[in-house]
Structure 1
Amino acid sequence: MPLAAALAPLRPGIIAVVLLTSATSLIGLTAPLYMMNVYERVLPSRNMNTLIALTAVALFLLLVEAAIGRTRESLLERLGLHFNRTVAASLFAALQGAAASHGEGRNAGPLRDLDTLRGFWVNGGLTTLCTLSWSPLFLLALFILHPVLGGIAMATLAAMLLLAVATRKTMAADLRMSAEAEAIASGIARRSLGACEAVQAMGMGMTAARSWHRVHEQALIHHIHAGERAGPLVFLSQFIMAASSFLVPAAATALALQGKISPAAIYAAMLIGRHATEPARKAIHQWRGYQTARLAYGRLDALLMTAQRASPGLTLPRPHGQIRVEGLTLSAPGTRQVLLRNLSFAVDAGTVLAVVGPSGAGKSALARVLVNIWPPTLGHVRIDGADYSHWRGDALGAHIGYLPQDIALMTGTVAENIQRFGSRDDDGVISAARLAGVHDAIQTLPDGYATVVGENGACLPAGQRQLIALARALYGHPALVVLDEPNAHLDSAGEVALAETIAALKAQNVTVVLITHKAQLLASATTIAVLGKGTLVQFGARDDVLARLSRPEPPARKSRIRMVARS
């Protein structure tokens, strides 16, 4: 969904904000008009009734202005909430897909962009622009009072604008280097905190701190240099902004002394001049916020447009689990490193496929392609004949179970994790837990299925985390289950339960893909695929492949499949 489409329903509200801001700008003429009438009508006539009437009208208009201001603030807050409701879910889904497909995990930049764009109008950016559009009216009022007054105000605005542009250009290079250094420092901090246990255990804390501090200090130094370079321009700009509040009334006083304008126009000229220049001063002060909002809009629109192009408009029927890989070539996201080269194979529904090979052969990369995390660089992956790209959004994921090496449980209860944080489904959760062989272990937890697992399952032993993640993979009766090193944290009893789970899935005609380097799981497989350096070395029925691997091979061949031969 492009961002313009998300903003379209907000257009009436934005128009209402513009109209309300225009009304407050017009009411801004109340004070100068009031003072002019006091000087020109009330004082010469000494008429108390006229003063009371003028004061009553002025107070009423100020009351209306206050009511309009509060209504506008409430409307802006509701517009921000409506915008968030319209965009947030789609944005998070697009961010999740981009993070998985392009290796940009933990990048919350688009979410900050959403807050930036929402804050732009909620916190006064939109109203400042609307108020600025009325500055010409106040300039015209000054020209009507006297051309000299209008000319002074225009010259002030021009000087402020030129100085603002010069200041931005002077500071741009240093601010850019400061932002780059700060981004590097944030990355160092994020990586160090993410590996805090290893950092603490191996005494790397001070080294990491010094590395972060050095880069963070560079960011601060660049920021200071930016301020020092622009110092004279900032000084001059601040002086002109402060002096502008005196120049117009001083000129008006001089004109009044020469008899060219009424003395009553002095105070009016001061107030009108303030209304003419104040919006420009605010706009210049918030210019960086405008640029940030514009860039945030562009990034969000590009991300949502990419996600929309990647999502077709069809909901396909539930698949049976037949998998066909055709000429699959995969490059690591964001690089030119080829992980898989021209893989082609097919398995029927109910097949248990064991993918084996040495480290770096591409087993986990194939798993990520099979569960639709990484799209193929070349070739196709099909389920029941339909290319993965033909499925809409998360529709395919509902039919896939995935147990990654990084278990990655999310903060929440055991039940919420198993049911993938969807609608409450007690029967489905218990069924998946029983199938994974973890139901009894969950009952021993302090609150059973309501036990909060903590971030990444930190509150649970590694074996229980893996079995709960396995139950999550089995939830909803998926047609395809991909298990990447599923017994990495299991003891012998856990491995027996895992074998029983795989047998039960096979009996239910579920296609299972096992990524493993352990011989124990090969007994559960019906088919074996051997990978080596990203290519398909062997593929076929388990006994046939093992028989071929057991034959004497040339030394080069043996080194490539040493692990499987040993199994």
Structure 2
Amino acid sequence: MKPSSPFLAGRSELVRALAAHRDALVRVGLVSLLVNLLMLTPTLYMLQVYDRVVVSRNELTLLAVSLIALLLFAVIAGAEALRSRLLVKASAAIEARLGLRVFGAAFEASLNPLSGDGARALGDLTTLRQFLTGQAVFAFFDAPWTPIYILVLYLLHPALGAAALLFGILQTVLAAWSHRQSVAPAQQAADAAQREQALVGGISRNAEAVEAMGMAPALHQRWAGLRRERRDSAGAQQELGQRLGAVSKFTRQAQQSLILGLGALLVIDGQLTAGAMIAANVLTTRALAPIDTLVGSWRVAIAAREAFGRLERLLEGFPPREAHPVPAEPAGFVTLRQVSAMVPGREAPVLDYIDLKLEPGTVTALIGPSGSGKSTLARVIMGVWPDVRGEVLLDGEPLENFDRARLGPQLGYLPQDIELFEGSVADNIARFGQPDPNKVIVAAQACGLHEAILRLPRGYDTPVGEAGHLLSAGMRQRIGLARAVYGKPALVVLDEPNANLDEAGELALSRLLHHLGEIGSTVLVASHRPGVLGVAGRVVAMQAGRVRFDGPRDEVLVALRSRAPAPDTAPPQPPGFDPLTAHP
């Protein structure tokens, strides 16, 4: 969004998004102006009742004044409801405007371990929306009226104005002190709760291993320690909160009583009327109400400010991409030029100056020992490795230039750690888009999975459970494989696709790879197992982050078996390297 005024030039994307709805905030401010003007009604009513009606004993005057006051109170109620509605609509519009953008940035951040907790961003957006509809915002709109109310008190009597100002300063100082005292205990309690929840979640996800290996007693002790730490931190926080609350309550009660006592003293001295005394007490409470509200909403305001800062950094760190149009049928030419992949905290690259070309209609087997960089290379080609140097091109265009939402259906990827999502088998195969039954069945049949799915309780509509826990590891892997080839993508990258497959699954995988090559897909398969080598026409052997051998399958296998000398650019081959098992 382009800045609409000089004031917004150079401002962050989040500020500009909020400023786009500044008209709603202006309307809220105008309604707040009306509300705060009418808040003088109780003061004026008491002045009239005590200083005029009680003295004159005129019932008609009392009726007229009361009816006017009731009418103004109704206007106040309507105005407050209106400004609440305006803020709710504005916050909903802001969330709708930013929701997709924040989701995309958070998703990109989750791919980068150095970018922070991307999953927290959506919670931050919710925190910001809730703050915009909370009492703290109304207090911000009402706070500028505090000096005006104090001025009115000063007009009633200078001593009343001075007393109200003193109490306002005292409450502000107490609020700042309370915040400083409560930040550390609150953070300790939150950290302890997070560690406890992480441990409980890990135990739940690995309950079978915990039970089988008798780890429950040790883990119970660790949980009890974290629970105790959380309880102690929460107890300290609650105790501090109660002490601070008692101090705040004492201050409010003292303010009300002392203002009333001061008013009574002025009445005794003949400097103030009884009506003005009562009105001053009510007006002081109203003048200091925004400060009370801000004190009560202090943590909410601080949390919203922190959420705003995190969202601002997130959106700045992951700006919208200028996406190039994706061809309706990309060819699938992949080119890597001098590609290195880095990892945080490690000086040596995981991949070191890789040059590689993959062409449509070919099946390439990627082999090498554990830690040689096979999975990293697969992630680099798919564009999901966070720190890549060099060029990764698809059909001659840098991969990062593509709109991933449009390019995604043209790509197929099976990672080592297969994650299925809550939903049906068909939903997972169809990538949670609108399922095309024919394409779903074709993908399942291509993986030799159709008959197995039909034997499930509800066939393709069978729920897989959270993370696919209702299915076996082999079934999860084959569903992930069907998801990867759904819609006949132009580029298919499979990382250890046969890790959990039985003999029938291996045979189905071989047929699938042969079929993908025949229909013109570009296929790269990283594997430790020899089953894929029979289908691959080309083999790329990796070692220590570099391509050691690259060429036709038979030539590379012969070279590996004969332990041919490595190219000058590759490190010497370790003894005992077996291309079939790919283990030294």
Q: 1:232 to 1:497 in 2, by over 3 A?
A: closer
Q: What's the counterpart of residue 331 of structure 1?
A: 342
Aligned to 1:349, what secondary structure does the other structure show? coil
Compared CA separation, residues 517 and 395, structure 1 to 2 (3 A): same
Taking the TM superposition and a 5 Å limit, the aligned residue runs for 1:413-492 are 413-492=424-503
Instruction: Write the distance in 1 (CA, Å) between the matches of 2:116 and 2:515.
Output: 34
Distance, in Å, in 2 between the alignment partners of 1:172 and 1:474 is: 51
Q: CA deviation at 1:333?
A: 4.9
CA drift at 1:521: 0.6
Gap change, CA 1:491 and 1:422, over 3 Å in 2: same
Q: 1:317 — aligned with what? A: 327
Residue 286 of structure 2 corresponds to residue 270 of structure 1: no
Residues 104, 435 of structure 1: alpha-carbon distance in 2 compared, 3 angstrom cutoff: farther
371, 384, 398: which one pairs with 2:395? 384
The DSSP-based 3-state class of the residue aligned with 1:482 is strand
Structure 1 residues 267 and 115: CA distance shift in structure 2, 3 A? same
Mapping 1:395-406, distance limit 5 Å:
395-406=406-417
Q: What is the match of residue 126 of structure 1?
A: 137
SS of the equivalent of 1:473 reads: helix
Which residue of structure 2 aligns with residue 49 of structure 1? 60
Rounded Cα–Cα distance in structure 2 between residues aligned with 1:452 and 1:418: 12
Instruction: State the partner residue of 1:557.
Output: 573
Give, in angstroms, the shift of residue 105 of structure 1: 10
Aligned to 1:290: 301
- The CA deviation at 1:422 is 1.4
On the 8 A contact 1:18/1:127 being kept in 2, the answer is no
Structure 2 counterpart of 1:359, from 344, 348, 370? 370
Determine if contact 1:401/1:482 at 8 Å carries over to the other structure: yes
Partner deviation per Cα, 1:471-524 (whole Å, 9 max, x = no partner): 211123311111111112222122111111111111111001101011111111
Identical aligned pairs, as a percentage? Answer: 35
Q: Could you tell me whether the CA contact under 8 Å between 1:380 and 1:387 is conserved in 2? A: yes
| Mapping for residues 6-405 of structure 1, pairs under 5 Å | 6-102=17-113, 108-225=119-236, 235-308=246-319, 311-318=321-328, 319-333=330-344, 336=347, 338-405=349-416
CA RMSD of aligned residues (A): 2.6
Q: Which amino acid aligns with 1:557?
A: Q
Distance 1:519 1:235, change over 3 A: same
Of residues 523-532 and 166-175 in structure 1, the stretch that sits farther from structure 2 once superposed is 166-175
Q: Report the 3-state secondary structure (helix = DSSP H, G, I; strand = E; otherwise coil) of the residue aligned with 1:464.
A: helix
- In 2, Cα distance between equivalents of 1:565 and 1:549: 12
Helix, strand or coil for the counterpart of 2:406? coil
Distance in 2 separating the partners of 1:554 and 1:324: 26
Count residues with an aligned counterpart. 566
Per-residue CA deviation, residues 427-479 of structure 1 (Å, 9 max, x unaligned), is 33233223333223222222222221111112223222222211211123311
**Partner secondary structure for residue 351 of structure 2:** strand
- Once the 2 structures are TM-superposed, how far is the Cα of residue 154 of structure 1 from its aligned partner? 0.8
Q: Which moved more, 1:417-426 or 1:219-228?
A: 219-228
Deviates most, 137-146 or 431-440: 431-440
On the 8 A contact 2:182/2:237 being kept in 1, the answer is yes
Find the aligned partners of 1:373 and 1:524 in 2 and give their Cα distance: 27
Compared with structure 1, are the counterparts of its residues 133 and 427 closer, same or farther at alpha carbon in structure 2 (3 Å cutoff)?
farther
**1-side partners of 2:93 and 2:312: how far apart?**
17
Q: Take 1:223 and 1:452, find their aligned partners in 2: how far apart are those partners?
A: 39
Q: Which residue identity is paired with 1:314?
A: H
Output the CA distance in 2 between the equivalents of 1:248 and 1:565: 87
> Secondary structure of 1:101's match?
coil
Are the counterparts in 2 of residues 170 and 230 from structure 1 also a CA contact under 8 Å? no
Shift of 1:54: 1.1
Cα deviation digits, residues 29-68 of structure 1 (max 9, x gap): 1111111111222223322222111111111111122222
Contact 1:415 1:449 in 2 (8 A): yes
Note if contact 2:510-2:532 (Cα within 8 Å) is conserved in structure 1.
yes
1:167 shift after superposition: 2.9
The separation in 1 between residues aligned to 2:460 and 2:241, in whole angstroms, is 60
Name the CA shift for 1:78/1:204 in 2 (closer, same or farther; >3 Å): farther
- Is this contact kept in 1: 2:352–2:546, CA < 8 A? yes
Cα pair 2:45 2:69 within 8 Å, conserved: yes
Letter in 2 for 1:362: G
1:357–1:531 contact (8 Å) kept in structure 2: yes
SS of residue in 2 equivalent to 1:499: helix
Corresponding residue for 1:543? 554
**Pair 1:53–1:566, CA change in 2 (3 A):** closer
TM-score, normalised relative to structure 2: 0.90
- 1:228 shift after superposition: 6.3
Are the aligned partners of 1:6 and 1:87 in contact in 2 as well (CA < 8 Å)? Answer: yes
Q: Aligned equivalents of 2:75 and 2:347: distance in 1?
A: 64
How far off is 1:170 after superposition?
3.4
Shift of 1:206: 3.0
Tell whether the 8 Å contact from 2:530 to 2:581 is kept in structure 1 after alignment: no
TM-score norm. by structure 1 comes to 0.93
Gaps of 5+ in 1: none
Superposed CA offset, 1:114-143 (max 9, x none): 221111122322112212222122111111
Change (3 A) 1:335 1:421: farther
Aligned to 1:557, the other structure's residue is in SS state: coil
CA distance in 2, matches of 1:105, 1:371: 22
